[in-house]
């Protein structure tokens, strides 16, 4: 992530967050549409509360994009918690697609390629950190033998190096 991308995300966030209900409803509708296994992860979840948690999590990420010392541990903890929910590595691709679709739908004509790319890079960073935490948590529990950790190069590609 570079400062221009962070600025684009922060400038687009007020319009996105003002329509948080529509954003999160679109997100989950798209996620359930493209990942047939995703609905089972939410079978016993209060979806209204879940949508609120998603919006709050996005707000935290937006606020801390230029503060890796606070952002990365928070994302890592989130990834670790997702181990208990049955999340697997392959879910991250669908989540990324659903998130970008939801943001694009929410912003409408204001959703430029630059905004898309900035949000995509931010999600790539979040996903890389969460995947690493997920794998570590699974390994600590004795599972996840076939999974691989994202490498330093993967994190750098996702934008970690520019955030230091």
The domains located in the chain, with CATH, are: 3-163 (1.10.490.10)
**Residue 50, pLDDT score:** 92
Pure H helices in the chain? 3-17, 20-34, 38-41, 47-64, 68-83, 91-107, 113-140, 152-157, 160-163
Q: What is the reported pLDDT for 158?
A: 46
Residue 126: per-residue pLDDT: 87
What's the first-to-final CA gap in the chain, in angstroms?
10
pLDDT for 160 equals: 41
pLDDT of residue 155: 44
Predicted model pTM: 0.80
Give yes or no for a contact between 123 and 96, defined as CB atoms under 8 angstroms apart: yes
CA pair distance 61, 1, nearest whole angstrom:
12
pLDDT of residue 142: 67
pLDDT for residue 154: 44
Residue 84 φ/ψ, nearest 5 degrees = -75, -15
Q: How much is the pLDDT for 83?
A: 61
Give the residue ranges of the chain where pLDDT is below 70.
79-86, 138, 142-164
């Amino acid at each position: 992530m570079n400062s221009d991308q962070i600025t684009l995300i922060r400038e687009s966030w007020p319009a996105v967050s003002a329509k948080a209900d529509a954003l999160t409803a679109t997100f989950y509708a798209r996620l359930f549409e493209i990942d047939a296994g995703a609905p089972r992860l939410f079978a016993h979840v209060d979806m209204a509360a879940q949508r609120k948690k998603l919006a709050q999590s996005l707000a935290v990420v937006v606020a801390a994009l230029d503060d890796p010392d606070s952002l990365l541990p928070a994302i890592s903890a989130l990834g670790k918690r997702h181990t208990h929910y049955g999340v697997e590595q392959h879910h991250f691709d669908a989540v990324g697609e659903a998130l970008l679709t939801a943001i694009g739908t929410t912003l409408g004509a204001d959703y430029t390629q630059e905004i898309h790319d900035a949000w995509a890079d931010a999600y790539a960073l979040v996903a890389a950190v969460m995947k690493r935490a997920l794998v570590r948590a699974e390994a600590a529990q004795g599972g996840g033998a076939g999974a691989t950790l994202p490498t330093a190069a993967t994190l750098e590609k996702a934008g970690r190096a520019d955030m230091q």
